[in-house]
Amino acid sequence: MIPLVDIKAQYATIQPELEAAVLAVLRSGQYVMGSEVAAFETEFSNHVGGGEVIGVNTGTSALHLAFLAAGIGPGDEVITSPMTFVATVSAIDYAGATPVFVDIDPKTWTLDPARIEAAITPRTKAIAPVHLHGRMADMDGIMAVARAHGLLVIEDAAQAHGAEHGGRRAGAFGDIACFSFYPGKNLGAVGEAGAAVTSNGEYARKMRALRDWGMEEKYVHLLKGYNYRMENLQGAALRVKLKRLEAWTDARRAAACRYHARLDALGLDRPTNEGTGERHAFHIYATFVPDSASAPEAVRDGILTSLREAGVGAGMHYPIPVHLQPCFRALGYREGAFPIAERFGRTQFSLPLFPEITEEQIDAVCDALAVATGRQGLKR
Ligand SMILES: *Cc1c(COP(=O)(O)O)cnc(C)c1O
């Protein structure tokens, strides 16, 4: 069995150090926030390339606090990508603002800066690009539109730890950037965790207060806050893993290279090559069935079934664009609104990718994929 993500394989490589770090927290009696969280915040700031880091309990909480701290609320519109995990859009909704979707760039599958201007209204307050699958959105293009229209930028970097654009890291562009440390992410806690990063002292101060019941001094709740605190144990685990993140990202990239060559031979679309200064962090390795197939979703289902039978754990990220999700029906978007995101949703599937994946495993996945596509009558 080759899983989509192998968290146990990673655990085995760091077991003694990770267990010692976690045990030390258990023995310390300091369980919520604490010295490990504070140290992690400093170390993660160095990783991103500066800014204040606010550790929280989930990536979704980081997004929620980011929108609140930026003063985004009811009556405001936030432009984002329909091709993302639902949490990006839910966080906009939690803040009381209205998500406005703009279609993706077919080359990078991230928010297309060329389409943003047409969606800007007097109510637009911010742009929230998503670095999907670990590939950064075109931040030069997005920052230029944002500056021209006086809009804030909140990066959803939940999948993009260590990714770069123009030689700068995910999290170093926006007014605030948000990361998730869900166990399956490129940097994963041993439970739930997340963080926001900002170089704006006022936003940082607000997010620190909001994550802990709106307190800046004990007993005084300046703002209506939340319990979004990070556990000390997660800080300790993340510190052990952060030291390895660079090497793990390189391993993901090497695995992706091997997949590229095999998929090109199979005639399947795969992530387009990086531009200069771009570093794809390969949270997800995506491939596609041809949209020319008469029923691409059925062809994809057949391939996923064949892969599963061959012991290969494949997935989809994401089959239903957020504008077509039942929970956001009230936003009023119809099928056909965002053809590129919708085509992506119909045709995309994900292959196993994690730092510890071996060349033999990648070859086995590709062999199984060759059989699966052959069964579906896809010709090379
Ligand atoms: C995982 C993820 C989130 C949410 O993070 P959690 O830590 O699971 O709350 C938000 N946005 C994107 C794009 C994600 O992949």
Residue 289 has which token pair?
A: 């069935």
- Beta-bridge partners for 359: none
Task: Give the number of other Cβ atoms within 10 Å of residue 20's Cβ.
Answer: 11
Q: Return the sign of the alpha-carbon dihedral for residues 359, 363, 365, 369.
A: positive
Question: Could you tell me which residues come within 8 angstroms of residue 353 by beta carbon, excluding any fewer than 6 positions away?
Answer: 4, 5, 252, 255, 256, 259, 282, 284, 285
Task: Output the residue whose Cα is nearest ligand 1's atom 10.
Answer: 87
Q: How far apart are alpha carbons 206 and 277 in whole angstroms?
A: 33
Residues within 6 Å of ligand 1 by CB: 58-60, 84-85, 87-88, 130, 156, 158-159, 180, 182, 194
46 C-alpha to ligand 1 centroid (Å): 22
Are 64 and 73 in contact by the 8 Å Cβ rule? The answer is no
Calpha distance 187→245 (Å, rounded):
7
pLDDT tens for 13-69 read 999 999 999 999 999 999 999 999 999 999 999 999 999 999 999 999 999 999 999
Q: Given this model, what pLDDT does residue 379 score?
A: 67
Residues 67-82: tens digit of each pLDDT:
999 999 999 999 999 9
| C-alpha of residue 227 to centroid of ligand 1, in Å | 18
Task: Tell me how far apart the alpha carbons of residues 278 and 186 are, in angstroms, rounded to a whole number.
Answer: 17
Q: What tokens were used for 294?
A: 């008469």
**Per-residue model confidence (pLDDT) at position 294:** 78
Taking every pair of C-alpha atoms in the chain, what is the biggest distance, in angstroms?
68
Peptide bond into 318 cis (omega under 30): yes
**DSSP H helical ranges for the chain:** 7-28, 35-48, 59-69, 86-94, 139-149, 201-211, 232-242, 245-266, 296-309, 339-347, 359-375
Distance CA(202)–CA(105), nearest Å, equals 33
Compute the distance between CA of residue 43 and CA of residue 37 in angstroms, rounded to an integer: 10
Mutate to test the pocket of ligand 1, among 64, 83, 85 (most ligand atoms within 8 A of CB): 85
**Amino acid 293: pLDDT:** 72
H or E element that contains 177: strand 176-180
Note the pLDDT of residue 7: 96
Measure the CA–CA gap between 245 and 369, rounded to whole angstroms.
Answer: 29
Per-residue model confidence (pLDDT) at position 292 = 80
Burial 347-361 (b: 16+ CB within 10 A, else e): bbbbbbbbbbbeeeb
- Report how far ligand 1's centroid is from the alpha carbon of 157 (Å): 9
pTM of the predicted structure, to 2 decimals: 0.97
Both tokens assigned to 233 = 């144990």
Q: Is the distance from CB of 115 to CB of 92 less than 8 angstroms?
A: no
Query: Helix, strand or coil for residue 212?
Result: strand
* First-to-last C-alpha distance (Å) of the chain: 26
Whole-number pLDDT of residue 378: 83
Residue from 182, 186, 187 whose mutation best tests the ligand 1 pocket (most atoms within 8 A of CB): 182
Q: Among 5, 61, 88, which residue has the most ligand 1 atoms within 8 Å of its CB, making it the best to mutate?
A: 88
Which residue numbers in the chain have pLDDT < 50? none
For ligand 1, atom 14, name the residue with the nearest CA: 158
